[in-house]
Chain A
Amino acid sequence: MQRLDRRIGLLSALPLAALLVLSFLAPLLLVALFSIMPQKVFTIAHLPDFSAYAEVVSQGYWRSLAWSIGMAVAATTILFVICWPLAFAMAKVFKRFTLVLTIGVVMTLFVSENIRLFGWVLTLMKGGLIEGHWRYWTGEGFDGLLYNVPVIVFGLVYVYFPFMLFPLAQGIAMVPDDARQAAADLGASRWRILREIDLPLAAPGIVIGCLLCFVLSAGAIAESKLLGGQAVIVIGDEVETAFTYGQNWPLGSALSMVLIVIVGALALLAINRVDLDALLGRRSS
């Protein structure tokens, strides 16, 4: 009976599993294959070589990669620092207000990222909301606040805010109040409790939040395009250019592969260190 159940279970999981394989693994495989094709070909029916990777190294694409990863690290760090107190309050202090806050933050996701970023463009640009008012009141204008690296990081922080906030709140909710009180009772200061109890016990939420924000930020294009102008070119932008304007699919694929490998390795490293089951409530302890 149990065996039959299991067989039926496997059978009914099959269509979805097939869909996942096709939609997730197949494109990845295709990109991997294209990355080892000669330059500027449009099929995978060629002898493989590593000329695309050579191009990645020789043409200084590492600079875009470094900008992307650097800004992703900065955005993730800032997000963690600003979200921690808020997430703590949501999990432990606010009662009904947590729901209001959750709905408020989730609502922003209902509007397209690009439209929200355009909102910021209109706010920050020369002649926009801020500079325009400034000029009106003081008579002296400035160049606007767009087209620099900090504003790109600001854009990343703004867009990925919910992706840090909710996992953190979830993680902090897992820290038993008793453990925190017991630590205080045993003489630990607030700072010690944060280090010894809160951070390690909320680690699954921290890792998931940081990972989401880092991975999404590292591959983000819109923030650097809309807010950053041409201040820096991010890796996602380079990939897009190679596939479209450059008509060099193998180069685009090779750039993608480099990004995927770096981000994937970091993700695996991080996930290995936390107990995801605990966060998802599969095991109680």
Chain B
Amino acid sequence: MLQSVPDDTKPEGAQAPSTAPARETILTIAGLRKTFGAFTALDGIDLKIAEGEFLTIVGPSGSGKTTLIRILAGMEEPTEGAVLLRNTRIEKVPANQRPTCMVFQSLALFPHRSVGENIEFPLKIRGTDRAERKTRALELLELLRLPADYYAKRIHECSGGERQRIALARALAFDPEILFFDEPLSALDYRLRKTLEKELKDLHSRTGKTFVYITHSLEEAMVMSDRIAIMRAGQFEQIGTPNDIYTRPRSRFVAEFMGEVNLFPLTAEAGSALRLAPGVVDTKAGGLLMARPEVLRFLSAGQSAPVEVEGKLEAEYNLGGRLQYTVSTGIGPVTVEVLRDQRPAAAIGAQVRLGTDPADCHLIADA
């Protein structure tokens, strides 16, 4: 029988990451709070980040994710709470004395310096000699697939994607223990973003560094992360692997944030449109039954499924590889996504039945 995750568990406890159990913790955040006047940006944040992990913090704008990363990078001080880097408290250490580095949303490249000088900046600050700096800069250009002659180029001669790579190279030149990213891809167009997402993930596995990435884009988070932390109103709503969060969200907020979803309220009135085989789910407990659009399928006459919904086929949308349908039911509109070869026989306006298996569904406790 499907059961919801009990509400009183801590996110970390319940969703222990399957990917990072043995690795050492590099960064610990404990009871972090940040207020700006009467506004609470962060309301008690606890998190452990494992060495070499790619953690993405996702949330709508205003959820406090930028404040969080600014505190982690040392650009803000928390009102309360602790940040520990390998058991050393660093929350009061200024940014220029932390062994971490951030890639800004604006990239913050130095426009008056050449590409090479930008990359060499952290080395120059450390007093590395000129020849060694140049060697390292050229290595980094190669790592980020930029031609060596970019070394002498001006920043304004580079495209958006190239600037992105330069900012990354500069951050890597610093050789940080943790690399923070504050929505660095948000200003780029779709195709470039897709390319860079993959490159970032690739870079992460090649360098083995710990990446902490902030975005409001669920897609970015899904593609790149080992773990995703969903933020809402200054708190973590759920922390887990991308799969965990996508298939087993703890709340309606997470379910809806992670893409299109059908949430069927398990109330007595729902019975007319939603038919559940006996023993599939304990309807008396209430809550929401979640079914992603791609787990639903059209049932032909005579077919049946443990979970069934009936309604009128309203509209068809072509998504390219897939087809999406809206079915209006007694419990609201339902979204279905099927492959092209599973197109339903029924015409628009006809009555249809949708079905799925309990294993593909998930029970959310809060209504």
| A interface residues, Cβ below 8 angstroms from B | 176, 178-179, 181-189, 192, 196-197, 200-201, 203, 285
What is the chain B residue whose CB lies nearest that of A179? B108
B73 within 8 A of A: yes
- Do the beta carbons of A285 and B111 come within 8 Å of each other? yes
- Do the beta carbons of A188 and B106 come within 8 Å of each other? no
- Do the beta carbons of A186 and B106 come within 8 Å of each other? no
Question: Bound complex: CA of A184 vs CA of B110, how far in Å?
Answer: 12
Q: What are 16 inter-chain pairs, A to B, with CB distance below 8 A? A: A178-B106, A178-B107, A179-B110, A181-B95, A182-B104, A182-B108, A183-B121, A184-B75, A184-B94, A185-B75, A185-B100, A186-B122, A186-B171, A188-B121, A203-B112, A285-B155
Work out how many contacts link A and B, with CB atoms closer than 8 A: 64
Partner of A187, one of B102, B110, B125, B155: B125
What is the chain A residue whose CB lies nearest that of B106? A178
What is the chain B residue whose CB lies nearest that of A203? B112
- Do the beta carbons of B125 and A186 come within 8 Å of each other? yes
Within 8 A of A (CB), among B92-117: 94-98, 100-102, 104, 106-112
Partner of A176, one of B73, B94, B98, B108: B108
- Chain B interface residue count, Cβ-Cβ cutoff 8 angstroms: 28
Question: Bound complex: CA of A183 vs CA of B109, how far in Å?
Answer: 9
What is the chain B residue whose CB lies nearest that of A190? B96
B153 within 8 A of A: no
Question: Bound complex: CA of A187 vs CA of B94, how far in Å?
Answer: 10
Question: Bound complex: CA of A185 vs CA of B170, how far in Å?
Answer: 11
Please provide the 5 A-B residue pairs with the shortest distance between their CB atoms, ordered closest to farther. A182-B108, A178-B108, A186-B122, A184-B96, A187-B125
- Do the beta carbons of A285 and B110 come within 8 Å of each other? no
Question: Bound complex: CA of A178 vs CA of B105, how far in Å?
Answer: 9
Give chain B residues whose Cβ lies under 8 Å from the Cβ of A186: 96, 101, 121-122, 125, 170-171, 174
Give chain A residues whose Cβ lies under 8 Å from the Cβ of B174: 186-187
Q: How far is the CB of A175 from chain B (nearest CB, A)?
A: 10
B74 within 8 A of A: yes
- Do the beta carbons of A187 and B108 come within 8 Å of each other? no
What is the 8 Å Cβ interface bit string for chain B, positions 71-90, against chain A (1 contact, 0 not)?
00111000000000000000
Q: How far is the CB of B101 from chain A (nearest CB, A)?
A: 6
What is the chain B residue whose CB lies nearest that of A197? B110
- Do the beta carbons of A200 and B101 come within 8 Å of each other? no
Give chain A residues whose Cβ lies under 8 Å from the Cβ of B110: 179, 182-183, 196-197, 201
Q: How far is the CB of A161 from chain B (nearest CB, A)?
A: 28
B206 within 8 A of A: no
- Do the beta carbons of A188 and B75 come within 8 Å of each other? no
Question: Bound complex: CA of A162 vs CA of B218, how far in Å?
Answer: 51
Residues A200 and B112 in contact in the complex (CB < 8 Å), given A182-B104, A185-B75:
yes
Q: How far is the CB of A25 from chain B (nearest CB, A)?
A: 35
B284 within 8 A of A: no
Residues A185 and B74 in contact in the complex (CB < 8 Å), given A176-B106, A200-B112, A201-B112:
yes
What is the 8 Å Cβ interface bit string for chain B, positions 143-174, against chain A (1 contact, 0 not)?
00000000000011000000000000011001
Give chain B residues whose Cβ lies under 8 Å from the Cβ of A178: 104, 106-108
Q: How far is the CB of A201 from chain B (nearest CB, A)?
A: 6
What is the 8 Å Cβ interface bit string for chain B, positions 8-29, against chain A (1 contact, 0 not)?
0000000000000000000000
Give chain A residues whose Cβ lies under 8 Å from the Cβ of B171: 186
Q: How far is the CB of B336 from chain A (nearest CB, A)?
A: 45
- Do the beta carbons of A188 and B108 come within 8 Å of each other? no
Question: Bound complex: CA of A34 vs CA of B122, how far in Å?
Answer: 59
Q: How far is the CB of B181 from chain A (nearest CB, A)?
A: 12
Q: How far is the CB of B160 from chain A (nearest CB, A)?
A: 13
Give chain B residues whose Cβ lies under 8 Å from the Cβ of A181: 75, 95, 104, 108
Q: How far is the CB of A227 from chain B (nearest CB, A)?
A: 40
- Do the beta carbons of B96 and A187 come within 8 Å of each other? yes
Question: Bound complex: CA of A57 vs CA of B98, how far in Å?
Answer: 62
Residues A185 and B95 in contact in the complex (CB < 8 Å), given A178-B108, A201-B111, A201-B112:
yes
Question: Bound complex: CA of A75 vs CA of B75, how far in Å?
Answer: 37
